[in-house]
Chains A and B, each alone.
Chain A
Amino acid sequence: DTEVTQTPKHLVMGMTNKKSLKCEQHMGHRAMYWYKQKAKKPPELMFVYSYEKLSINESVPSRFSPECPNSSLLNLHLHALQPEDSALYLCASSQEPGGARGQGWTGELFFGEGSRLTVL
């Protein structure tokens, strides 16, 4: 069983809807991630939270709004999405974030099973 839980597994929404994707981990990990994956493409990083603070936003459009209410939870709020935003959204966590004082990082990512989003 995966230790990173994502809900819902599937979501269909219209372009005017507001919805949220949720991610939860109870491994005590201090970094959490949102990746987006389209078919036959690599997973692309969207956001990184380190110690509950947003540390990386990969120039993601504002219609995607991340939130980290506490160290175990990560949300992705969705509003006014476009059909091209349809994809698999993967959440991941790692024990520690990378990039500490310019050091190397071999951090293993623990992934959820993803939320399959369809925007009509």
Chain B
Amino acid sequence: ILNVEQSPQSLHVQEGDSTNFTCSFPSSNFYALHWYRWETAKSPEALFVMTLNGDEKKKGQISATLNTKEGYSYLYIKGSQPEDSATYLCAFTGWGAQKLVFGQGTRLTINP
């Protein structure tokens, strides 16, 4: 059974502060790691997909890193804004897989 763990489960941050959270995944048979952003009452939207150890991706003030040898990825948000409030999901794909296995998400709330 594949286990994808995210921590923390929830996070409250003041507007303007920076924050980060973690996704842990199996390091064996790794192929890709995905990050999704899911705002309340909307659909999850893809942020990043990473495949190589040491990959770093950036979109605006959000960035992500990948360590496939130890099986973790970090998502960073610099200078949080209220519109960054969402649940951030990571998902793992193994080699030859037909599906994404999701973590339970980190629910981020930015306080104005």
Q: A residues touching B (Cβ–Cβ < 8 Å)?
A: 2, 4, 33, 35, 40-45, 48, 50, 55-56, 90, 97-99, 102-114
Contact at B42–A108, with CB atoms within 8 Å?
no
* Complex: chain B residue closest to A108, CB-CB: B46
Q: A104 contacts which of B4, B51, B89, B100 (Cβ < 8 Å)?
A: B51
CA distance A107 to B92 in the complex (A): 11
Contact at A42–B32, with CB atoms within 8 Å?
no
The 9 closest A-B pairs by CB, nearest first: A99-B98, A42-B102, A98-B98, A104-B31, A111-B43, A102-B96, A42-B104, A2-B43, A106-B32
CA distance A28 to B63 in the complex (A): 30
Q: A113 contacts which of B4, B42, B93 (Cβ < 8 Å)?
A: B42
Q: Which residues of A are found within 8 Å of B34, using beta-carbon distances?
A: 106, 108-109
Interface residues of B in 25-70 (CB under 8 A from A): 31-32, 34, 36, 41-46, 49, 51
CA distance A48 to B43 in the complex (A): 19
CB distance from A78 to the nearest CB of B (A): 21
Interface string of B1-36 (1 = CB under 8 A from A): 000100001000000000000000000000110101
Q: B residues touching A (Cβ–Cβ < 8 Å)?
A: 4, 9, 31-32, 34, 36, 41-46, 49, 51, 89, 93, 95-105
Contact at B44–A105, with CB atoms within 8 Å?
no
* Complex: chain B residue closest to A31, CB-CB: B98
26 A/B residue pairs, CB under 8 Å, sorted by A = A4-B43, A42-B4, A42-B89, A43-B89, A44-B102, A45-B99, A45-B100, A48-B98, A50-B98, A56-B98, A90-B44, A97-B98, A99-B97, A104-B95, A105-B32, A106-B31, A106-B34, A106-B51, A106-B93, A108-B34, A109-B44, A110-B46, A111-B43, A111-B44, A112-B43, A113-B41
